[in-house]
């Protein structure tokens, strides 16, 4: 099975799959929502890493591996 490489463009909107370990200040309970509003891609750093516009809401690195991102689809209501 050939794995399809995901490539985002600058200004694409993506979901960042939040993990309690990485966002521990914002997620104190596993019962809290697992996501937030979609975020904009600022730039592609390399094939696997993208810089995301977090709007200073989180005190974490703004660089994310493509593994933690999925394209935001306006018609998608199943967060």
Q: How confident is the model at residue 12 (pLDDT cuts 50, 70, 90)?
A: very high
Decide: 15 and 72 in contact? Cβ < 8 Å: yes
Regarding pTM above 0.85, the answer is no
Q: What is the pLDDT of residues 45-67, one digit of tens each?
A: 998 999 999 877 677 788 999 98
Give the domains, in start order, of the chain with CATH numbers: 13-71 (2.30.30)
Q: What is the mean pLDDT of residues 12-38?
A: 64
**Which residues contact residue 46 at a Cβ distance below 8 angstroms, ignoring those fewer than 6 apart?**
none
Q: What is the mean pLDDT of residues 24-45?
A: 68
- SS3 (DSSP) at 66: helix
Calpha distance 57→59 (Å, rounded): 7
């Amino acid at each position: 099975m050939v794995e399809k490489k995901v490539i985002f463009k600058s200004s694409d909107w993506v979901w960042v799959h939040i993990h309690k370990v990485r966002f521990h200040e914002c997620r104190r309970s596993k019962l809290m929502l697992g996501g937030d509003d979609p975020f904009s891609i600022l730039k592609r750093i390399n094939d696997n890493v993208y810089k995301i516009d977090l709007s200073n809401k989180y005190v974490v690195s703004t660089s994310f591996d493509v593994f933690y991102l999925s394209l935001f689809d306006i018609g998608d209501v199943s967060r």
